[in-house]
A and B are shown apart, each in its own frame.
Chain A
Amino acid sequence: SAVISQKPSRDICQRGTSLTIQCQVDSQVTMMFWYRQQPGQSLTLIATANQGSEATYESGFVIDKFPISRPNLTFSTLTVSNMSPEDSSIYLCSSRIAGWNTEAFFGQGTRLTVV
């Protein structure tokens, strides 16, 4: 597997502001996935990010609210824009080594609290 370094690990933000979360992988990966985990809940996929193309968003998530960058094969960012208290969650990036029968590995998560 590979290692993903995610930062910040936590932040407390004012409503109306934006926060950018960064994930750095120690090897090249094709796809990176961004998840949201609301308090006490499971992981919900926000979007899939492929290098060199626009991210693909899941139903209920839009680019204006969660813009994603994927400038190269080892790095991605997720921005949570115009935050409200409902955006308070843990945000996780994930990836897999390309190929069949490979497991996903995760960053440490970003615990976001919007006040």
Chain B
Amino acid sequence: GQQLNQSPQSMFIQEGEDVSMNCTSSSIFNTWLWYKQDPGEGPVLLIALYKAGELTSNGRLTAQFGITRKDSFLNISASIPSDVGIYFCAGQLGSGNTPLVFGKGTRLSVIA
């Protein structure tokens, strides 16, 4: 089946630093999504990308849909303690009737 390779697996950073994580795939996706999961909660959507080459920001978060449609990155600028959590990339082929394929997640720890 399709797989997403997400890296890094975990990160420990100082508060105020910038963070970058990425996902690659052997398959082409129509949509790339980035989610954050806090302990005991379901994933919450951060950014959705629908076009190859698209660069989208949401506050301190910026994500890009790779030109080849096989990769995406997420940047977090000026990290704060509440950024702690697990970040998942997800890719999708097709319409709303198709499920997402998830990366393995990046566990982010922010040291104050």
Complex: how many Å from CA A11 to CA B105? Answer: 25
Complex: how many Å from CA A6 to CA B43? Answer: 13
Q: Does A111 contact B (CB under 8 A)?
A: yes
Q: How many A-B residue pairs have CB under 8 A?
A: 68
Task: Name which of A10, A103, A109 has the most chain B CB atoms within 10 A of its CB.
Answer: A103
Of residues 1 through 20 on chain B, the ones whose CB sits less than 8 Å from some CB of chain A are 1
Q: Is the beta-carbon distance between A31 and B43 smaller than 8 angstroms? A: no
Q: Is the beta-carbon distance between B41 and A101 smaller than 8 angstroms? A: no
- Among B30, B42, B96, point to the contact of A97 (Cβ < 8 A): B96
Complex: how many Å from CA A24 to CA B21? Answer: 33
- Among A42, A98, A106, point to the contact of B96 (Cβ < 8 A): A98
Nearest chain A CB to B50 CB, angstrom units: 5
Q: Is the beta-carbon distance between B33 and A103 smaller than 8 angstroms? A: yes
What string of 1s and 0s marks CB contacts (under 8 Å) between B45-71 and chain A?
Answer: 100101000000000000000000000
Chain B at the A interface: mostly helix, strand, loop or mixed? loop
Q: Is the beta-carbon distance between A100 and B104 smaller than 8 angstroms? A: no
Complex: how many Å from CA A44 to CA B33? Answer: 16
B interface bracket (residues with beta carbon within 8 Å of A): 20 to 34
Nearest chain B CB to A11 CB, angstrom units: 13
Q: Is the beta-carbon distance between A41 and B31 smaller than 8 angstroms? A: no
Q: Is the beta-carbon distance between A100 and B96 smaller than 8 angstroms? A: yes
Q: Does B29 contact A (CB under 8 A)?
A: no
- A–B complex contacts, Cβ < 8 Å, 5 sampled: A42-B105, A43-B43, A98-B97, A100-B95, A108-B41
Binding site for B on A (CB under 8 A): 1, 6, 9-10, 30-31, 33, 41-45, 48, 50, 59, 92, 94, 96-109, 111
Instruction: Other than A100-B30, A102-B96, A106-B43, give 9 A-B pairs with Cβ distance below 8 A.
Output: A42-B88, A42-B103, A42-B105, A43-B88, A43-B102, A98-B95, A104-B45, A104-B100, A106-B44
